């Protein structure tokens, strides 16, 4: 309904209700408001801000904290946002005449587009008020009615209980006696509370006793004010050595937090109070049950990758909806004990124990010890901003220093110069160069401007080169209205420059670009001819560093100490929030498919994806063994850096279930076994389609790959990825070394791309992938991994990577067609394993090696 319906029902000359047209201050998060309305019938008005209006429902009995109680909610007309401040009398004879009182208000959030969810009939959301907290559902009823009817009910979370809205009326303004009689009273004995208490964890731990044992620990008063955070210096490469630990560099806002007398306060890096700005984080910290604390971390949206930073900004400004979380990486004070002088690695160990499995809005920022280059390569592959490297043995101290170092993932590409801006300050010549890239739809598209990286001499040269060229009107398509371009001078593409940058923003504009070189060896026609579509960033530093093991340094294997699976903790914790699947559901799934999954991963070095707070929050890759894992063994391998590392290895069901207990959702094995890591026993071609490629084309591509492999005498097998694409897998006898396997895979992908450039691509750039399929060969190298058959994916719907027979491909509709809910039953009905006999094939790449 529109606000026209709200206006039609009211005469604003006779009621104090706000007339549409006014708005609350912009730049604020989306709000919710609940009002107690004594009209002809007493009810609660439940309202959620979506855009510039309050979507509204009348809830006769009010919200209940009991998840089994589903309250009818009748959809009514939208209200203006400033109705949130209304309280008092609506005169008799007017629509809704009676007393309106404020019951609760705050901000709210949801993971996905709220309007799309409402259109589908199920909105899953969180409320952050004084009385209403945690997760809730609105589900459209199937009953026919004059006004749409919904069901409002509580999520099964840490706030669920027996409280009713009528229990929380102690501070709500009562109506006049006449209105109360007409509308009906609530039960007076229930008006006993003003809010819902913070629900701390049930386990009480003596954190102070443990903290006091750390080196440098001392008793101290609870911190109550902002403290200056420790900062990192920017470096060109990660520092090396076992004394360094490496964390993901989250793309968010740095936040420090204090707790005093159980109450949390949050500050931004520049000392602004953010306590009320992110109430979900404040409440989550208080729910830890600490009396005093000092914490350091990063506020993120989504998974905290570069692509999620725009969502974070839009969520905080109210433009979009997103779930926020606090990725914690340091603990400086706890329950009266200052531990800032303790070694970082010991502070983090205590922090991890305090957080446990984490919550929806709090997560532990894990780390890897040593292997800085590999940590950086992995972060770059996963599209994180980079890594932060920290001295594991050092105390915490404010300000910038060499104990913390950051390494950012740079991107680089070549662009045409299409204009310039005027110089500012003491600079002469020009301020910045305007850049463009070839674009199918518009010819050329503006991608930003570069103003740094110029020497004085180069400024003079380029100024002479540009001369008096230029006009006011853009000569290329400009996707964003940039006020700094009002005085810009534009011309047709003239010459080529190479630029480094830190990522690409929401409008396709380069972030923090810096000039690398002027490419006089290339013309603007070279840019257009080399690309049949939109250009973009070429990811730098994306190749994973591979380790090297030799027969002289054969890996040492440690033995498992027990074979009984661990008891599953937090079985009701929701890991797939969109689908409601819990940790127990995940454990039951892996138990059901164990006989099929285990042969895929047993005895191989293994990477996992862990989601301690569910798939809606930060997940992370892990490949190294960590303390606490008793059933999972490790293989010790020497890496290219010269360091030895303990890689995860699973041998049986008990070890696999231990990883499930550690909230592992995905399993990614090497293409080799732990006892012979230098020889591959499979090749995996990952067919990854661009955004405009129909799935029918992906299926055709898989058949083409199969045909080409068959022509050179290699039998192949098919698997869905649980995502958009397909895997074509070639089993090998473990006689080929990784250098040969990778060379073969790369050559195969390049031949496909060269033979049909309109269909295939052999480079990883996502911006070149439009309407084409990337034949990803990079999963074929020592240390590279691919998702295992029967593994879940940490994505909405809980999809599964599923092996198929080639004759099943025709009927396949999607790459994520199989899920946690249907795979176990499918396996029971299946007559034959489509990959049966695969491990008995003894094919190899000898003929390819001879051709080389």
- Return d(Cα 676, Cα 664) in angstroms, integer: 25
Q: With the C-alpha atoms ordered 819, 820, 825, 829, is the resulting torsion angle positive or negative? A: positive
3-state secondary structure of 588: helix
Q: Which two tokens stand for residue 38?
A: 């004594």
How far lies 62's CA from each of 100, 136, 501, 766, in Å? 14, 13, 52, 49
- Tokens read off for 352: 């991890």
Q: Please list the active-site residues.
A: 249
Partners of 684 in the beta sheet? 729
Q: Which two tokens stand for residue 750?
A: 């390049």
- How distant, in Å, are the alpha carbons of 556, 770, 771 from that of 694? 47, 11, 9
The 3-state DSSP class for residue 99 equals strand
Cα–Cα separations (whole angstroms), residue 298 to 251, 330, 362? 8, 10, 10
- Beta strand 411-421 with 218-219: parallel, antiparallel or unpaired? unpaired
Cα 308 to Cα 255, 299, 383, 502, distances in angstroms: 17, 11, 10, 14
**90 dihedral zone (left: phi>0; alpha: psi -120 to 50; beta):** beta
User: The tokens of 678 are what?
Assistant: 């230098």
Site of tokens 């269909």? 759
CB distance 71 to 61 below 8 Å: yes
Question: 644-649 and 514-518 as β-strands: parallel, antiparallel, unpaired?
Answer: unpaired
Distance CA 653, CA 399 (A): 48
CB 704: neighbour CB atoms within 10 A?
19
Single out the residue of 596, 571, 446, 557 nearest to residue 509, CA to CA.
Answer: 446
Distance CA 669, CA 348 (A): 28
Distance CA(199)–CA(569), nearest Å, equals: 19
* Alpha-carbon span 777 to 746, nearest angstrom: 6
Give the chain's end-to-end CA distance (angstroms, integer).
69
As a three-state string, the secondary structure of 714-777 is CCCEEEECCCCCEEEEEEEEEEEEHHHHHHHHHHHHHHHHHHCCCCEECCCCHHHCCCCEEEEC
Tell me how far CA of residue 65 lies from CA of 512, 572, 585, in angstroms: 48, 17, 24
Using an 8 Å Cβ cutoff, are 782 and 637 in contact? no
Q: Which residue in the block uniquely carries the two structure tokens 């047209």?
A: 21
Question: What size, in residues, is the chain?
Answer: 852
| b/e per residue 286-325 (b: at least 16 CB within 10 A) | bbbbbebbbbbbbbbbbbbbbbbbbbbbebbebebbbbbb
3 state DSSP class of 255: strand
Residue reference for tokens 């008891």: 567
């Amino acid at each position: 309904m529109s606000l026209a319906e709200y206006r039609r029902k009211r005469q604003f000359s006779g009621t104090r209700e706000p007339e549409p047209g006014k708005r609350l201050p912009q730049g604020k998060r989306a709000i919710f408001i609940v009002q107690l309305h004594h009209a002809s019938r007493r009810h609660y008005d439940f309202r959620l801000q979506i855009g510039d209006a309050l979507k509204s429902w009348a809830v006769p009995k009010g919200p209940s904290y009991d998840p089994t109680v589903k309250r009818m909610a009748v959809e009514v007309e939208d209200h203006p946002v400033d109705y949130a401040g209304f309280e008092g009398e609506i005169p008799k004879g007017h629509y809704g005449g009676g007393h309106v009182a404020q019951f609760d208000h705050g901000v709210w959030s949801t993971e996905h587009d709220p309007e799309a969810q409402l259109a589908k009939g199920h909105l899953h959301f969180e409320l952050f008020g004084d009385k209403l907290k945690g997760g809730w559902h609105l589900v459209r009823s199937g009953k026919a009615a004059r006004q749409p009817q919904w069901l409002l009910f509580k999520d099964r979370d840490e706030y669920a209980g027996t409280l009713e809205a009528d229990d929380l009326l102690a501070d709500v303004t009562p109506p006049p006696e006449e209105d109360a009689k007409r509308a009906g009273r609530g039960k007076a004995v229930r008006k006993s509370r003003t809010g819902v208490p913070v629900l701390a964890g049930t386990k009480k731990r003596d954190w102070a006793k443990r903290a006091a044992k750390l080196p440098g620990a001392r008793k101290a008063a609870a911190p109550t004010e902002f403290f200056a955070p420790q900062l990192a210096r920017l470096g060109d490469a990660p520092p090396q050595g076992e004394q360094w630990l490496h964390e993901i560099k989250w793309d968010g806002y740095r936040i420090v937090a204090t707790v005093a007398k159980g109450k949390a306060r949050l500050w931004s890096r520049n000392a602004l109070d953010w306590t009320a700005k992110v109430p979900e984080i404040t409440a989550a910290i208080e729910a830890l049950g600490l009396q005093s604390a000092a914490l350091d971390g990063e506020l993120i949206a989504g998974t905290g990758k570069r692509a999620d930073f725009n969502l974070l900004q839009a969520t905080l400004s109210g433009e979009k909806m997103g779930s926020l979380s606090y990725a914690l990486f340091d603990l400086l004070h706890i329950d009266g004990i200052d531990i800032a002088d303790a070694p970082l690695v010991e502070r983090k160990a205590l922090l991890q124990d305090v957080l446990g499995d984490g919550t929806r809005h709090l997560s532990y920022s894990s780390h890897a010890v040593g292997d800085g280059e590999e940590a950086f390569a992995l972060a770059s592959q996963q599209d994180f901003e980079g890594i932060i490297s920290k001295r594991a043995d050092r105390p915490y101290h404010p300000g910038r220093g060499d104990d913390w170092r950051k390494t950012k993932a740079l991107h680089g590409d070549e662009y045409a110069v299409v204009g310039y801006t005027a110089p500012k300050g003491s600079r002469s010549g020009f301020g910045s160069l305007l850049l463009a890239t070839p674009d199918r739809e518009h010819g050329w598209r503006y991608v930003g401007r570069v103003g740094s990286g110029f020497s004085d001499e180069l400024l003079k040269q380029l100024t002479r080169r540009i001369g008096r060229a230029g006009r006011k009107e853009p000569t290329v398509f400009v996707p964003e209205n940039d006020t700094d371009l009002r005085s810009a001078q534009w011309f047709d593409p003239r010459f080529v420059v190479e630029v480094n940058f830190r990522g690409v923003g929401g409008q396709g504009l380069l972030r923090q670009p810096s000039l690398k070189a002027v490419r006089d060896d290339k013309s603007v026609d070279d840019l257009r001819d080399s690309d049949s579509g939109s250009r973009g960033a070429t990811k730098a530093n994306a190749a994973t560093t591979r380790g090297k093991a030799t027969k002289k340094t054969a890996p040492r294997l440690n033995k498992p100490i027990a074979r009984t699976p661990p008891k599953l903790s937090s079985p009701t914790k929701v890991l797939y929030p969109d689908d409601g699947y819990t940790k127990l559901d995940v454990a039951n799934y892996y138990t059901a498919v164990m006989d099929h999954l285990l042969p895929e991963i047993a005895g191989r070095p293994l990477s996992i994806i862990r989601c301690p707070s569910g798939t809606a929050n930060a997940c992370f890759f892990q490949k190294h063994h960590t303390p606490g894992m008793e059933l999972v063994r490790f293989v010790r391998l020497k890496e290219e850096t010269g360091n030895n590392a303990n890689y995860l290895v699973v041998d049986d069901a008990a070890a696999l279930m231990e990883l499930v207990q550690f909230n592992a959702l995905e399993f990614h094995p090497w293409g080799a076994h732990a006892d012979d890591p230098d020889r591959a026993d499979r090749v995996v071609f990952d067919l990854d389609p661009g955004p405009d490629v129909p799935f029918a084309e992906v299926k055709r591509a898989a058949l083409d790959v199969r045909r080409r492999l068959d022509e050179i005498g290699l039998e192949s097998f098919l698997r869905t990825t649980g995502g958009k694409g397909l895997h074509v897998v070639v089993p090998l006898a473990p006689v080929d070394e990784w250098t040969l396997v990778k060379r073969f895979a790369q050559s195969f992908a390049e031949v496909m791309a060269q033979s049909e450039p309109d269909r295939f691509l052999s480079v990883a750039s996502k911006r070149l992938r439009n309407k084409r399929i990337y034949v990803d060969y990079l999963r074929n190298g020592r240390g590279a991994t691919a998702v295992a058959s029967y593994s879940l994916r940490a994505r909405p719907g809980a999809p599964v990577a599923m092996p198929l027979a080639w004759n099943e491909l025709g009927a396949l509709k999607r790459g994520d067609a199989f899920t946690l809910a249907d795979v176990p039953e499918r396996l029971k009905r299946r007559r034959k394993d489509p990959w049966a006999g695969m491990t008995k094939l003894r094919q190899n790449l000898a003929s390819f090696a001879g051709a080389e």
